[in-house]
Chains A and B, each alone.
Chain A
Amino acid sequence: MLAPQQLAELGRLLAADRVATDTDTLTRYGLDWTRYFTPDAAAVLFPKTVEEVVALVRWAQREQFALVPSGGRTGLSGGAVARNGELVVSFERMNAILELDKVGRTVRCQAGVITKTLQEYALANGLYYPVDFASSGSSQIGGNIATNAGGIKVVRYGMTREWVVGLKVVTGEGEVLELNHGLAKNNTGYDFRHLFIGSEGTLGFIVEATLRLARPPAELAVMVLAVPQLADIMNIFNAYRDKLDLTAFEFFSEQALRHVLARGTVQRPFDEAADYYVLLEFEKIAPDTETQALALFEYCAEQGWLVDGVLSQSQQQAAELWRLREDISESITPYKPYKNDIAVVVSKVPAFVAQLDEILAREYPQFEVVWFGHIGDGNLHINVLKPEALAIDDFRRACEQVNKHVFELVRDFNGSMSAEHGVGLLKHDYLDVSRSHAEIRLMKAVKSLFDPDGIMNPGKLV
């Protein structure tokens, strides 16, 4: 709870109209995309400048008040959730694109710039920001960096980390650090920039970023393939990857597709359903690229790995085919899905998937399980849907029971229990599935260096 005195002080640090305490704002900004927590924020603050962020941190340090950095609130692990009376610091008003360096191919922007806005800005300037996913119309660059977001183009372009060449951050002590200055090369010791990437707001605030940009891809073609056996997906991946520069390799199950189709906005790609589908995208870099892709299709069909396939004939069709994959997350949101975002090294995907399938069939017979994900990165999104009749808490408890088995398997495979979505609140108790106790001890030590009073997003990540 904020005392009236504290509220007045915050109103002086910012402006009164950028300190919100109405119920609607508190509820909205107290949550991210997860639906398990009850929001309880003391206030929502909307700084406009780095100086204001510094002043806020200094104030919070003095008052020992916890802060929750808040971006586009599309996070899937509860990282931006305030449920213990924290102050939410939203970057919505820090959304300026500051500088384009066309020669260096970098762009400097404030943390609150919407991912899609940056993508469009780059394209308008003949360049390309490749990090992309279904929530890019709402997520912010600061949130992407704080979660090291991945997405649908990782196979070709890597995660957000690959694209960050400079950061301006405010630590938990209110110190401003300029990290790496946009340099391509800078071997001058520990690179704190990489500590902040994926730090989920636990070390400090990301207030500005300098991002690398690429040349825009040539025309992209999209294929959707019908695959009867989950295990064959990786055979198809290997075949295509050997010959083509894939820009995406995604998969989803018939179950997932049905939820997308139920919304009635896109049509089924094939007359006959298959158990699994692959969506792959490639750059038509040479005149014979498409012929290659067709030959590969024939080859995979001869091996019995796939039974059908479609190829986009226009950018419009490519966009429609992408929706089959990209609309999944949103179409199952009403079922309050319990999301598993797990990964193993690509070579181990078939073995992992076989065992996972067995566990899920055994442990979740009563639940609908929806499979999809960035399988070309070894990353699976396993979504368990809540049956209508089951109370959310009971559902979550049931899922956590099964998690034990799933995470045991992940541990056996040296996999990740959270490949892209981060740890936040949701996966906090499972950190040791993927990180050793020594690592976790060091992570805590690092946090206390940057945030000695523990005011930065407490209870999240470590």
Chain B
Amino acid sequence: MKALVAVKRVVDYNVKVRVKADGTDVDVANVKMSMNPFDEIAVEEAVRLKEAGKVSEIVVVSLGVKQCEETLRTALAMGADRAILVETDAELQPLAVAKLLKAIADKEQPQLLIVGKQAIDDDANQTGQMVSALLGWAQGTFASKVDVAAETVDVTREVDGGLETVKLRLPAVVTTDLRLNEPRYVKLPNIMAAKKKPLDKTTPAELGVDVAPRLKTLKVAEPAKRSAGIKVANAAELVAKLKNEAKVL
């Protein structure tokens, strides 16, 4: 069984981002970029499935600028077999991403398409759902457990107030949630081996996909600053402040 995993290059989780002065976007110049943490979980899950003998080949795909190669190499070092870069400098919005992934899936014919539930930069949470619709495949989103059988996959989903398990017929789309697994550290020998694994490149044009943006960002703003706390002398003063100043009582 072949698994296709999508990985996105995003601003590192540990970077404190700043909004550009003109409010058009987040400033990512000279900022450390890494694999989207949910995609790391997706790669890890595929590798575990391969180690368990359920998956025979893992193909990772990334869409975007040339530097996405680094992200793909990380995925290869984690245990993916080969990589595809759909190279473009264009801004990619979720629908375009879904269309590109569909085009790749049409070519590769995987039984499983695993993607992160969202990317931590745009937090769109749309790609998995849209690509499943475009492909006409079943979807298991927010997976905290994935159980693959010959024809089906059981996906335990994190839903409000608990867990829900759905059985999907393969091929299917799975989107990963935080608790699905804990991604491994990448071993140095594997990083070296990954340099020799195949990495193919293509473009949206070659795939026949129009990636022109359809959404327009009006404004990007910093969250409101929290003002400093104050100390009150006693409960009476606290109550007074809550009543008169905060007006919550």
Number of interface residues of B (CB under 8 A): 18
Cβ–Cβ < 8 Å partners of A319 in chain B: 14
A159 at the interface (CB under 8 A from B): no
| A 199-233 contacts with B by CB, 8 A | 219, 223-224
Cβ–Cβ < 8 Å partners of B151 in chain A: none
| B 151-184 contacts with A by CB, 8 A | 182
> Within the assembled complex, what's the spacing in Å between the Cα atoms of A316 and B185?
11
Give chain A nearest CB distance to B221 CB in angstroms.
Answer: 19
A292 at the interface (CB under 8 A from B): no
CB pair A311–B188 under 8 Å, yes or no, is: yes
> Within the assembled complex, what's the spacing in Å between the Cα atoms of A170 and B160?
60
Known contacts: A219-B32, A298-B192, A319-B14. The answer to whether A313 contacts B186 by CB under 8 A is: yes
CB pair B188–A315 under 8 Å, yes or no, is: no
Give chain B nearest CB distance to A252 CB in angstroms.
Answer: 16
Cβ–Cβ < 8 Å partners of A313 in chain B: 34-35, 74, 77, 186
B187 at the interface (CB under 8 A from A): yes
CB pair B12–A315 under 8 Å, yes or no, is: yes
> Taking CB as reference atom, which chain B residue is nearest A284?
B32
CB pair B185–A269 under 8 Å, yes or no, is: yes
Interface bits A326-348 vs B (CB < 8 Å: 1, else 0): 00000000000000000000000
Interface residue from B15, B74, B189 paired with A315 (Cβ < 8 Å):
B15
> Taking CB as reference atom, which chain A residue is nearest B10?
A314
CB pair B34–A267 under 8 Å, yes or no, is: no
Give chain B nearest CB distance to A379 CB in angstroms.
Answer: 26
Interface residue from A298, A310, A315, A317 paired with B187 (Cβ < 8 Å):
A310
CB pair B192–A294 under 8 Å, yes or no, is: yes
CB pair B32–A317 under 8 Å, yes or no, is: no
Interface residue from A267, A294, A297, A316 paired with B12 (Cβ < 8 Å):
A316
Cβ–Cβ < 8 Å partners of A301 in chain B: 189
CB pair B13–A314 under 8 Å, yes or no, is: yes
Cβ–Cβ < 8 Å partners of A311 in chain B: 185-186, 188, 191
Interface bits B3-15 vs A (CB < 8 Å: 1, else 0): 0000000001111
B37 at the interface (CB under 8 A from A): yes
Cβ–Cβ < 8 Å partners of B13 in chain A: 314-316
Give chain B nearest CB distance to A97 CB in angstroms.
Answer: 15
| A 247-296 contacts with B by CB, 8 A | 267, 269-270, 294
CB pair A310–B186 under 8 Å, yes or no, is: yes
> Within the assembled complex, what's the spacing in Å between the Cα atoms of A316 and B34?
9
Cβ–Cβ < 8 Å partners of B14 in chain A: 314-316, 318-319
Give chain B nearest CB distance to A128 CB in angstroms.
Answer: 15
CB pair B74–A309 under 8 Å, yes or no, is: no
> Within the assembled complex, what's the spacing in Å between the Cα atoms of A270 and B188?
11
> Within the assembled complex, what's the spacing in Å between the Cα atoms of A319 and B14?
9
> Taking CB as reference atom, which chain A residue is nearest B37?
A316
> Within the assembled complex, what's the spacing in Å between the Cα atoms of A314 and B14?
8
CB pair B192–A315 under 8 Å, yes or no, is: no
Interface bits A348-373 vs B (CB < 8 Å: 1, else 0): 00000000000000000000000000
Cβ–Cβ < 8 Å partners of B12 in chain A: 314-316
> Taking CB as reference atom, which chain B residue is nearest A269?
B185
CB pair B188–A297 under 8 Å, yes or no, is: yes
CB pair B182–A267 under 8 Å, yes or no, is: yes
Known contacts: A315-B13, A315-B32, A316-B34. The answer to whether A309 contacts B188 by CB under 8 A is: yes
A173 at the interface (CB under 8 A from B): no
Most chain A beta-carbon neighbours within 10 Å: one of B37, B74, B77, B188: B188
Most chain B beta-carbon neighbours within 10 Å: one of A223, A297, A314: A314
> Within the assembled complex, what's the spacing in Å between the Cα atoms of A315 and B34?
8
> Within the assembled complex, what's the spacing in Å between the Cα atoms of A318 and B14?
10
> Within the assembled complex, what's the spacing in Å between the Cα atoms of A297 and B35?
24
CB pair B188–A294 under 8 Å, yes or no, is: yes
> Taking CB as reference atom, which chain A residue is nearest B192?
A294
Cβ–Cβ < 8 Å partners of B182 in chain A: 267
A321 at the interface (CB under 8 A from B): yes
> Within the assembled complex, what's the spacing in Å between the Cα atoms of A309 and B187?
5
Cβ–Cβ < 8 Å partners of B34 in chain A: 313-316
Give chain B nearest CB distance to A58 CB in angstroms.
Answer: 31
A132 at the interface (CB under 8 A from B): no
Cβ–Cβ < 8 Å partners of A314 in chain B: 12-14, 32, 34-35, 37
| B 1-55 contacts with A by CB, 8 A | 12-15, 32, 34-35, 37
Give chain A nearest CB distance to B111 CB in angstroms.
Answer: 27
Cβ–Cβ < 8 Å partners of A309 in chain B: 187-189
Cβ–Cβ < 8 Å partners of B185 in chain A: 224, 267, 269, 310-312, 317, 321
Cβ–Cβ < 8 Å partners of B32 in chain A: 219, 314-315
Known contacts: A219-B32, A319-B14. The answer to whether A310 contacts B37 by CB under 8 A is: no
Give chain A nearest CB distance to B248 CB in angstroms.
Answer: 29
Give chain A nearest CB distance to B109 CB in angstroms.
Answer: 29
Give chain B nearest CB distance to A384 CB in angstroms.
Answer: 30
- Which 4 pairs from chain A and chain B are nearest by CB? A314-B34, A315-B14, A310-B185, A309-B188
Enumerate 26 A-B pairs (CB-CB under 8 Å) in ascending A order: A223-B188, A267-B185, A294-B191, A297-B188, A298-B192, A308-B188, A309-B189, A310-B185, A310-B186, A310-B187, A311-B186, A311-B188, A312-B185, A313-B34, A313-B74, A313-B77, A313-B186, A314-B13, A314-B32, A314-B34, A314-B35, A314-B37, A315-B14, A316-B12, A317-B185, A318-B14
B positions within 8 Å CB-CB of A? 12-15, 32, 34-35, 37, 74, 77, 182, 185-189, 191-192
Given contacts A310-B187, A313-B35, 9 further A-B contacts (CB under 8 A): A294-B188, A294-B192, A301-B189, A310-B185, A315-B12, A315-B14, A315-B34, A316-B14, A321-B185
